[in-house]
Amino acid sequence: MSEPAKPATILVIDDDAEIRYSLSRVLSTRGYQIIEAASGEEGVALVKKGPAPDLVLLDVRMSGMGGIEALQLIRSANPRQLVILMTAFGTAQTAIEAMKYGAFDYMMKPFDPQKVLALAENALKTRADLHAVSDYKPSINADDYREGIVGSSPVMQDVFKVIGQVTASDVTVMITGESGTGKELVARSIWKHSHRSSKPFIAVNCAAIPDNLIESELFGHEKGSFTGATGQRIGKFELCDGGTIFLDEIGDMALATQTKILRVLQQGEIQRVGGVETIKVDVRVIAATNKDLEEMVKAKTFREDLYYRLNVVRIKMPPLRERPEDIPQIVDFCLQNLVKQKKARVTKVSPEAMAIICRHRWPGNVRELENVVYRSAVIAQGDAILVKDLPAEIREAVAASPETPAALATESAAVPAAPAVEPTALAASVSTAPFVAPATDVATKSETSLDDLYDALFEKLRTGEEPILSQIERAMIDRVIAAEPDLAKAAKLLGLTKAALQKKREK
């Protein structure tokens, strides 16, 4: 990665000449070349005409074309254009809209010069990082994609071979392995390639169904056979006739039910709960567990005869940490899936971020990896996942690992140092925090914990029902007012008018 030879160009779009002047003054102290536009229309025209500036600072409220509209036009003309929106009126709605339409960040007036510089610098660094991943080559091909299961490590190749071997027959297969290693995926793959693929595949999670209901679930029941059995019910085995049933978490199945499963396996027949009729079923059984069945057999909590009946062919799914060479493929596969489902637009991963991903131990295996790729892709601002986009817990776990070389912690390790920002507490911890990758030294401790906070808030925003932005706003207002009881001064600190602050307090 090399620093651009020319100074970075920054386009400032604001209808207020004073703001343009003060921003240019601050930014030119770092040698940036400033271009000014006095309206949204003028700014958009400049971007369209090119050459594209390295960064755009865009005011939200302008007479004529507003900032949000200009942002949309700029991003549709150049989807990679980095834009920071500026506003004196921080509302949740504008902040959300800004980020939704692809702003890189959002800053509030009045500006702290150090904050502006730090923000601009981070944006430009992200841009450089994104450019550096332009030669990224996805490691999977269309065949892998169709198969829905990827991995080129020798252990996974062995798994694929066994899948191929067991598809021709109806032999019972037992799949073992830690949570998230792909047991169900393998079961589906066996079914898809077998002569039973036109008949159902039904997965039953034995751990999720209470003991008193599992038999009815599997074998069905007759009307009135127990309290609550108001009508006849057809069980999964009957529904699955001709197909494949996947008994997940078989180690959690009660002994009484185990006996009945043995009967299906030996005689190919079932009886509905409360019924007398014997029903013939033709079902292939694939079982899975992450429990130690051998131990359970010794402890007599799992039937030995059933164990041998199920364990005709055993597929042991290796944990992800034992096959790190598969990780890049799985990451690409997840990204392709996300793009296909229109959940994200990210198609690449920076080498530094990939190095961290590959070094993590992934206790939750592929499921955890999938989840992390998803979370990172959603917050990534360009077309690549960078180190800063990875969840803090992954970066920290890898950074804390004794084998991790210091250079792995952040992309900036590979980029020549950018001009230093004065390390005022505010500039360093508030404005740059969302973009700073964690380092292990004390100076960046506050960024790291703020980063964690942002991650946690982001999780809440995604999963919770609470309007996070207004909560943050309220918490901030409370703190400022506690420290500065004079409303006019408090309003100024918050970048609000006194009336606006009063209105917010009333709310």
Interface positions with ligand ATP (CB under 6 A) = 149-151, 177, 179-185, 290, 330, 333, 366-367, 370
CA atoms of 94 and 72, how far apart (whole Å): 13
* Residue 471 contacts which entry, ligand ATP, Mg ion, none (Cβ below 5-8 A, type-dependent): none
> For residue 437, what are its two tokens?
């990758």
Nearer to ligand ATP, 62 or 330 (CB): 330
Nearer to ligand ATP, 275 or 324 (CB): 324
H or E stretch covering 481: helix 468-483
Nearer to ligand ATP, 67 or 177 (CB): 177
Check the CA dihedral 291-292-293-298 and report its sign.
negative
The dihedral region occupied by 495, where left means phi > 0, alpha psi between -120 and 50, and beta the remainder, is: left
CB of 299 to ligand ATP, least distance (A): 21
> By C-alpha distance, which of 146, 153, 159 is closest to 186?
159
> For residue 455, what are its two tokens?
């991650």
Do 150 and 333 contact (CB within 8 A), yes or no? yes
CB of 363 to ligand ATP, least distance (A): 12
CA atoms of 40 and 74, how far apart (whole Å): 10
CB of 178 to Mg ion, least distance (A): 11
Instruction: Give me the residues that bind Mg ion (CB under 5 A), please.
Output: 184
Nearer to ligand ATP, 67 or 151 (CB): 151
* Residue 382 contacts which entry, Mg ion, ligand ATP, none (Cβ below 5-8 A, type-dependent): none
* Residue 391 contacts which entry, Mg ion, ligand ATP, none (Cβ below 5-8 A, type-dependent): none
Nearer to ligand ATP, 185 or 239 (CB): 185
Nearer to Mg ion, 42 or 184 (CB): 184
CA atoms of 355 and 394, how far apart (whole Å): 12
CA atoms of 463 and 478, how far apart (whole Å): 25
CB of 34 to ligand ATP, least distance (A): 48
Nearer to ligand ATP, 290 or 446 (CB): 290
* Residue 16 contacts which entry, ligand ATP, Mg ion, none (Cβ below 5-8 A, type-dependent): none
Do 230 and 223 contact (CB within 8 A), yes or no? yes
DSSP for 357-398, written as a single string: HHHS--TTHHHHHHHHHHHHHHH-SSSEE-GGGS-HHHHHHH
CB of 177 to Mg ion, least distance (A): 9
Question: What is the Cβ-side half-sphere exposure of residue 300, based on CA atoms within 13 angstroms?
Answer: 0
Separation in Å, CA 283 to CA 184, 202, 241, 256, 309: 17, 10, 6, 20, 14
> For residue 459, what are its two tokens?
């999780």
* Residue 149 contacts which entry, Mg ion, ligand ATP, none (Cβ below 5-8 A, type-dependent): ligand ATP
CB count within 10 Å of CB 83 equals 27
* Residue 179 contacts which entry, ligand ATP, Mg ion, none (Cβ below 5-8 A, type-dependent): ligand ATP
Do 198 and 175 contact (CB within 8 A), yes or no? no
* Residue 257 contacts which entry, ligand ATP, Mg ion, none (Cβ below 5-8 A, type-dependent): none
* Residue 370 contacts which entry, ligand ATP, Mg ion, none (Cβ below 5-8 A, type-dependent): ligand ATP
Residue facing ligand ATP at closest CB distance: 182
SS3 248: strand
Nearer to ligand ATP, 151 or 243 (CB): 151
CB of 176 to Mg ion, least distance (A): 11
- Residues 214-244, buried b or exposed e (16+ Cβ, 10 A)? bbbbbbbbbeebeeebeeebebbbbebeebb
CB of 449 to ligand ATP, least distance (A): 31
Nearer to Mg ion, 19 or 287 (CB): 287
Nearer to ligand ATP, 25 or 316 (CB): 316
CB of 197 to ligand ATP, least distance (A): 18
CB of 318 to ligand ATP, least distance (A): 10
SS3 27: helix
CB of 187 to ligand ATP, least distance (A): 8
